Structure 1
Amino acid sequence: MTAAPSPRHPLHFSNFRAYLVGRLCAVLAQYGMMIILGWQAYNIARETMTTSGAAAQLGLIGLAQFLPLFFLTPVTGWVADHYDRRWISRITLALLAIAAGLLAFATYEGWVSLPLILGIAVIVGTARAFNGPAYGALAPNLVPPAVLPNAIAISSVVWQAGSIAGPALGGYAYAATPWGAYALASALFGVALGAMMLIGPVPQPPRDTSRHPIRQMIDGFAYVRGNRLVLATITLDLFAVLLAGATALLPVYARDILHVGSAGLGHLAAAPGIGAGLTALWFSFRPMKTNVGVKMLGSVMLFGLATIAFGCTAFLPRSIAIEVGIAALVVLGSADMVSVFVRQSLVQLHTPDAMRGRVSSLSQLTISASNELGEAESGFLAALVGPVAAVIGGGVGAILITLYWARLFPELRLARSFDPPDIGREENSQEKNP
């Protein structure tokens, strides 16, 4: 009797399908909630502060999310490599659903405040510190090695699409009813939790009990530092997006520069999602296979140019400023999608399973640094030099960083494909020689 052919696509596996549903809902909820936190904080602050002072509050929100990630990263990566990644995700999703529900109730009752918003931002940052490495390291455990590259690509696309479409969803929901935006986020976190409960037992690397946990945590840093390709992809995103934080200042542009209100905020927030979605759709038919390093460098430069274009909408007539701004953000989202697709694929394919939790936690730290710490940088810089100068200067900085990284890390510029042997995979000597 002929054996039945093994599945050749990640979507043939029920665990992976449940994972994708949960990941999409969680990312939509998370980023939708955070854009509304920024919008609410900015509007509350504007009742008693100038534009610059209120912009600084956006910086505080970004900082409140980043600090828990920064301090907990070594621990969370080790936890993801030593405990059931499904239950780590389930517990953190439940915590996020409760936090979003609390914000919905506070907004409905009319007692939402800046201290409450900052407190929730800290809770979100703490939950994400544990959730991110567990989620990121779980995907390779759900499918056989033969379809792992495709699974990583699909997971990356889902994450990026959700992270950019989430703010649009939150903006539109807030325009309909302010408390409804948080209620929707809470419901989406609940759906993500339900999807994670459907994932059955999965293989996980055996716990390493031969060495002290602190030594194992250090191994994660040592591996990233020793693999220059992984180091290049992670740090390029860190510094480029850290500088070019246009999306962090969307509430300022929507209210005080383009004068389009919360409905316009939804349009602006939707634009990067459109660009990312179209790019993801293109990859589903024409997956990237060659010259991946050069394409990542080019996409980050385009990201910087699009950021500059969006910043310059402040100088355009109002009749065309919003259209140009939306177009620039569409390009920004598309470029970001290319960059994230390449980075996530290279990092996951060049990392042994026993190290994925720790490397994923470091990757998440750089993503958070570029996003949340980037929000802080953009907010504080806007308070000093103005939002327009902050956005344009950030775009210029992203371009300069990309040019420097192309020279500093020739491994990235010369990367031809995602296949580790083609790029020069480095072995994890720390794991092999304790």
Structure 2
Amino acid sequence: MIEPALRALPGLGPLIISRICSQLSATTLTIAIGWQMYALTHSVSSLGYLGLAQFLPMVPLTFISGHVADRFNRRSVVLICQILEVLSTGTLAAIAAMHCLTPAYVYAFAAFYGTLRSFEMPCQQAFLPAIVPPQLLPRAQALMSSLFMTASIVGPSLGGLLYGLGSVICYSLATLGFALAFLGTLALKLRHKVASKEPVTFASVFAGLGFLNRRRDLLGAISLDLFAVLLGGATAMLPVYADSVLHVGPIGLGFLRAAPALGALFTSAWLSRHPLGGRAGITMFVSVIVFGIATIVFGASHITWISVVALMVLGAADVISVVVRSSLIQLATPDAMRGRVSAVNSLFIGSSNQLGEFESGMLGTAIGPEAAVIAGGVGTILVAATWIRLFPSLWALDRLEDVRPEEL
């Protein structure tokens, strides 16, 4: 699956090891602490609070972490975060082994892990353009997306299996995964200037927002993804569909949950070998519209195989949008600003996923799950049509390889 040209790039191997081990450990851990929390409390609401505990630190820390990513050595910041991930997850394993684990410990761990991810993600997102030449970046981005999706598919299943063997084993192996991620990051050789030494001011901390306001194509790409995922959050309704609409039970739910990731995996693997050519902006808008149509088909379907296919198409369309957006952000953003822009992008992604699930749940309660999913798909299409008029520079975007960073 890895192209020879990409395989030959120095530094890409350690980055792949670092990102895959980190994602496997993160998804394994998410499943495990969810099971742990439910076992401790037998409360469904506690699961929602657990996700909130991981997300809330990102909101106040986004702009601070972005400035840290641009002011200090990004590799060193990630290494510190990964060391703390090893120590905190290892501590969780030790507390579990002593049978002293309480909901308070789990919430505290989730909040601390969310804090670490707030600083780690903006730095990690800036690694790829520091390794890969601009002409290969879209292809490399697609490759990393396919590997990320693979880890996202394997991780939850692995977490459930390992937790069945015991929470201590699960947490211990997640600790090992974070340690391997640390070693991968340690081996990275990056081609970027040492971080900016501009003084810390209110303007410098929030400079990422100012840059996005100047680069309307970037603002359009990030906000389009935010509202598309926010409105089209069909995955939040999957348990309801598996139980009450399709009547496929927990095994069918597993297939439904895997379908979007499988569609994304196949598409990103294809894009890693056959990168997008011209009219990248139009391709992005079309993929969002297809995402909306697939959401509508899923919402209206009462036939399992149609629902699975619709979810696979949904995942495939989503990853095309992700590759265009991610490549555009990395290519158009100067290195000195990349951390702050990546931090804003991370906040938008986290907001769309978390708030999208909340929006789907509230709307589903009000008008019914099927109507809520269909309405979300229609809303996604309307947002795409509106964004074409609001951001003509994004619609006119041609070849990603021709994008150049703006001079600061």
Selected match of 1:369 from 342, 351, 354: 351
Residue 23 of structure 1 and its aligned partner are, at CA, apart by 0.8
Distance 1:155 1:191, change over 3 A: same
- 1:186 and 1:367 map into 2 onto residues whose CA distance is 26
Q: Retained in 1: the 8 A contact 2:285–2:395? A: yes
Distance (Å, rounded) in 2 between the aligned partners of 1:379 and 1:333: 20
In the alignment, structure 1 residue 133 sits paired with structure 2 residue 129: no
Please tell me whether the aligned partners of residues 17 and 184 of structure 2 are also in contact (alpha carbons under 8 angstroms): yes
Q: Report what 1:349 is aligned to.
A: 331
1:327 aligns with 2:309: yes
Residue 3 of structure 1 is matched in structure 2 by: none
Unaligned runs of 5+ in 2: none
2:9 aligned with 1:13: yes
In structure 2, which of residues 230, 236, 245 is the aligned counterpart of residue 242 of structure 1?
A: 230
CA distance in structure 2 between the aligned counterparts of 1:10 and 1:277, rounded to whole angstroms: 18
Q: How many residues were matched structurally?
A: 404
Query: Larger deviation: 104-113 or 224-233?
Result: 104-113
Aligned to 1:4: none
- Whole-Å Cα distance in 1 between the matches of residues 112 and 174 of structure 2? 15
2:280 to 288, 292, 295: 292
Structure 1 residue aligned with 2:60: 71
Query: Measured at CA, do residues 19 and 347 of structure 1 come closer, stay the same or move farther in structure 2, by a change above 3 Å?
Result: same
Q: Aligned partners of 2:161 and 2:310: how far apart in 1?
A: 20
Distance 1:87 1:265, change over 3 A: farther
Distance 1:241 1:111, change over 3 A: farther
Q: Deviations over 1:144-167 (max 9, x none)?
A: 556445444433443355445544
1:248–1:379 Cα contact (<8 Å) kept = yes
The RMSD of aligned alpha carbons is 3.3
Of residues 164-173 and 211-220 in structure 1, the stretch that sits farther from structure 2 once superposed is: 164-173
User: Structure 2: how far apart are the matches of 1:58 and 1:397?
Assistant: 28
Change (3 A) 1:157 1:223: farther
Q: Distance in 1 between matches of 2:238 and 2:105?
A: 21
Scaled by the length of structure 2, the TM-score of the pair is 0.84
For residues 1-400 of structure 1, the aligned pairs below 5 Å read 9-35=5-31, 37=33, 54=44, 59-100=48-89, 116-144=105-133, 147-163=136-152, 166-170=155-159, 177=165, 179=167, 182=171, 184-200=173-189, 202-253=190-241, 263-313=251-301, 316=302, 320-321=303-304, 323-382=305-364, 384-400=366-382
C-alpha spacing 1:188/1:412, structure 2 compared with 1 (3 Å): same
**How far off its partner does 1:203 sit?**
4.3
Q: State the match for 1:409 in structure 2.
A: 391
Distance 2:375 2:257 in 1: 21
Deviations 1:316-351, CA, capped at 9 Å, x for gaps: 3xxx53x34332222221111111111111111111
Instruction: Extract unaligned runs of 5+ from structure 1.
Output: 1-7, 49-53
Separation in 1 of the partners of 2:105 and 2:368?
Answer: 27
Structure 1 equivalent of residue 406 of structure 2: 427
| 2:193 partner SS | coil
Superposition deviation, residue 236 in structure 1: 0.5
| Cα 1:114/1:295, change in 2 over 3 Å | farther
Provide the C-alpha distance between the structure 2 equivalents of 1:185 and 1:292, rounded to a whole number of angstroms. Answer: 38
Q: Name the SS for the 2:397 alignment partner.
A: coil
Given that 1:171 and 1:265 are in contact with CA atoms closer than 8 Å, whether structure 2 keeps it comes out as: no
1:268 Cα deviation from its structure 2 partner: 2.8
What amino acid does structure 2 have at the position aligned with 1:227? Answer: R
Aligned partner of 2:297: which letter? A
Change over 3 Å in CA distance of 1:391–1:193 after alignment to 2: farther
Any idea what the Cα deviations from partners look like across 1:162-190, whole Å, max 9, x if unmatched? 4455445445655x557365555444323
Q: Determine helix, strand or coil for the equivalent of 1:284.
A: helix
